[in-house]
């Protein structure tokens, strides 16, 4: 255990360090999971290929970084590329399948996800690419507590995106229609809302966030690889269930909880335990005691 | 204002409306009465555009809208108070009203509409920041009517608004409907509560298993032996 070979002080520092790591990872989970929960909220389908969009965002970011050499530009391109892809997926894959039982779009989604991973392999090669971008923020040290540049970046980008999303949902006419649609699309349409357009906006926003997550993880881990979406694919599903399917604040909370649990169980308590199992154990526990999710109501 | 001809609607194999026709003139309050399952809600949902018709014409202000999507019909001035009220459960009263005003672009018109809704239903003003699901059944019905008025509709479709309401709320709701009617709003009202509906309406249609069997002024319908027997509880 850590206190055997560390002084208590460094132990505390390590705790803070892990807290920072956990929140950073949790923020990225939130960016991925939000799109998933928004799509579920409005269409009631599990958009498995969302993790493919996340990886696509990372690849587009990487390519544009190679071309332009500026990280912020590559972030914007990654988000834009993912947004366009998300829109196309909705328009050409889900939209024609929506009148069928929900298993049809689900299978299509899984198929698309596998196809995307193969496409990345064919286009960019099977090896891991390094995304060594200079961001220009610098590390932050307070005593022996340290936030790395990429951690600051993740926190900054996530906070900005969440504020923008929340403002959009609560302060604009289209945001209001989007929330109404998730509750009752038919009634919403009777008030003059073009539900098809709302669904498209939903996909564009959710995918842009996933694209941002892809770019952020690309620079955080300094790598982009074809199957980088496979673990987030099912982890995001667990998080979305934890947050209460379709619940936006619940999803943010669940993401942070999972990010923190992972780093604490593995990093602080040093339990020899596969990191990626934490989200699922949390999901099982929550489903046993609060089947409507962390913030949901019975 | 609204003219429906030969309207046929089916759910799978089941023919819910078997070629019905009716008209609602500008400023009229028309009711369609009938038993549960006769197809009353289906008529309103088809006029709103939430259900597709298989055959027939729906003329609104002289224009066939039977292929127009629901959201565009709302823009033309049709508004629905749906069966079961369909309040947005997690939106506040104010937000529910704002959804009703979605077709309105002008901020001033929206604010004025909100003020009118609050004047019509002072209870809603008291509850304006509460979310929809915390309202009582009667309050939800007020909200559903207020919300439908927010778009300043030319035609309001009201579906079973007395269903599940306490008697005092039924009285109050019908008073509101008659006031709207006096102000010149065109209303098509579908009701199981035939007595109340015929008291309020100018004209009425009787629907039986997807077909219109009677069509007359409300006064005549109320005295029709068949209507008395089947819908007004005998004698």
Q: What is the pLDDT along chain B (235 residues), one digit of tens a residue?
A: 999 999 999 988 888 999 999 999 999 999 999 888 888 999 999 999 999 999 999 999 999 999 999 999 999 999 999 999 999 999 999 999 999 999 998 999 999 999 999 999 999 999 999 999 999 988 999 999 999 999 999 999 999 988 888 888 888 889 989 999 999 999 999 988 899 999 999 999 999 999 999 999 999 999 998 888 888 775 4
Does the beta carbon of B91 lie under 8 angstroms from any beta carbon of chain A?
yes
The answer to whether the CB atoms of B151 and A176 lie below 8 A apart is: no
Residue A141 lies in a domain: yes
Q: Within chain B, where are the H helices?
A: 40-48, 70-76, 93-100, 107-120, 122-126, 137-149, 167-182, 194-200, 218-223, 225-231
Q: Looking at the complex, does the CB of residue B90 fall below 8 Å from at least one CB of chain A? A: yes
ipTM: 0.92
Q: Does position A5 have pLDDT exceeding 60, yes or no? A: no
Q: Which residue has the higher pLDDT, B140 or A291?
A: B140
Would you say residue A260 lies in a domain?
no
Residue A18 vs residue A155, higher pLDDT: A155
The alpha carbon of residue B92 is apart from the nearest alpha carbon of chain A, in Å, by 11
Q: Which residues contact B197 (CB under 8 A, 6 or more apart)?
A: B31, B33, B189, B191, B204
What is the reported pLDDT for A1? 44
A248 falls within a domain: no
What is the reported pLDDT for A2?
Answer: 46
Q: Is residue A60 assigned to a domain?
A: yes
Q: Which of B84, B38, B134, B1 is nearest to A186 (CA)?
A: B84
Q: Which residue has the tokens 């778009």?
A: B151
Least CB–CB distance from A187: residue in B82, B90, B95: B82
The total number of residues shown for chain B amounts to 235
What's the pLDDT at A252?
A: 95
- Cβ atoms within 10 A of the Cβ of A271, count? 11
Q: Are B189 and B148 in contact (CB under 8 A)?
A: no
Phi, then psi, of A8 in degrees rounded to 5: -60, -35
Q: Given this model, what pLDDT does residue A264 score?
A: 83
Q: Is residue A211 part of a domain?
A: yes
Residue among A179, A183, A193 whose CB faces B102 most closely: A193
Residue ranges making up the domain that contains A204 = 31-229
Q: Please, are residues A136 and A71 in contact by the beta-carbon 8 Å criterion? A: yes
Query: Which pLDDT does position B234 carry in this prediction?
Result: 55
Within a domain: residue A259?
Answer: no
What is the model's pTM?
0.89
Residue A46 lies in a domain: yes
The reply to whether A266 falls in a domain is no
Q: Of how many residues is chain A composed?
A: 298
* Count: domains in chain A: 1
């Amino acid at each position: 255990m850590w206190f055997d070979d560390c002084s208590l002080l460094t132990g505390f520092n390590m705790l803070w360090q892990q807290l920072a790591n956990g929140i950073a990872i949790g923020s990225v989970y939130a960016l991925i999971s939000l799109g998933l929960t928004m799509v579920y909220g409005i269409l009631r389908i599990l958009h498995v290929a969302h993790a493919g969009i996340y990886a696509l965002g990372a690849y587009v970011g990487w390519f544009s970084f190679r071309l332009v050499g500026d990280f912020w530009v590559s972030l914007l391109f990654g988000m834009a590329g993912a947004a366009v892809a998300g829109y196309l997926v909705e328009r050409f894959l889900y939209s024609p399948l929506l009148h069928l039982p929900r298993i049809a779009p689900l299978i299509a989604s899984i198929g698309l996800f596998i196809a995307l991973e193969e496409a990345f392999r064919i286009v960019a090669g099977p090896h891991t690419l390094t995304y060594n971008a200079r961001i220009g923020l610098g590390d932050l040290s307070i005593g022996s507590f340290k936030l790395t540049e990429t951690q600051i970046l993740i926190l900054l980008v996530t906070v900005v995106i969440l504020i923008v999303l929340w403002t959009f949902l609560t302060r604009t006419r289209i945001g209001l229609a989007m929330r109404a649609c998730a509750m009752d699309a038919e009634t919403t349409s009777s008030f003059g809302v073009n539900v098809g357009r709302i669904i498209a906006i939903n996909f564009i926003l959710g995918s842009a966030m996933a694209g941002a997550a892809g770019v952020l993880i690309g620079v955080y881990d300094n790598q982009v690889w074809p199957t980088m979406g496979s673990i987030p694919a099912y982890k995001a599903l667990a998080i979305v269930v934890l947050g209460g399917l379709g619940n936006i604040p619940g999803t943010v909370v669940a993401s942070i909880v999972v990010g923190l649990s992972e780093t604490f169980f593995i990093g602080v308590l040093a339990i020899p335990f596969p990191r990626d199992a934490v989200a699922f154990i949390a999901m099982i526990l929550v489903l046993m005691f609060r089947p409507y999710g962390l913030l949901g109501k019975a | 204002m609204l003219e429906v001809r030969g309207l046929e609607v089916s759910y799978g194999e089941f023919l819910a409306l078997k070629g019905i026709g009716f008209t609602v003139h500008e400023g009229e309050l028309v009711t369609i009465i009938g038993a549960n399952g006769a197809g009353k809600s289906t008529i309103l949902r088809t006029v709103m555009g939430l259900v597709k018709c298989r055959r027939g014409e729906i003329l609104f202000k002289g224009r066939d809208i039977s292929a127009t999507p629901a959201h565009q019909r709302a823009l033309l001035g049709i508004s629905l108070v749906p069966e079961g009220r369909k309040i947005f459960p997690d939106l506040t009263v104010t937000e529910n009203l704002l959804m009703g005003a979605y077709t309105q672009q002008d901020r001033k018109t929206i604010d004025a509409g909100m003020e009118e809704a609050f004047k019509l239903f002072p209870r809603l003003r008291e509850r304006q920041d509460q979310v929809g699901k915390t309202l009582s059944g009667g309050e939800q019905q007020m909200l559903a009517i207020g919300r439908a008025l927010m778009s300043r509709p030319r035609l309001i479709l009201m579906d079973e608004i007395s269903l599940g309401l306490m008697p005092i709320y039924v009285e109050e709701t019908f008073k509101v409907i008659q006031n709207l009617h006096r102000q010149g709003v065109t209303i098509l009202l579908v009701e199981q509560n035939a007595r109340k509906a015929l008291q309020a309406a100018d004209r009425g249609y009787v629907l039986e298993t997807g077909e219109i069997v009677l069509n007359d002024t409300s006064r005549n319908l109320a005295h029709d032996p068949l209507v008395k027997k089947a819908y007004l509880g005998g004698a």
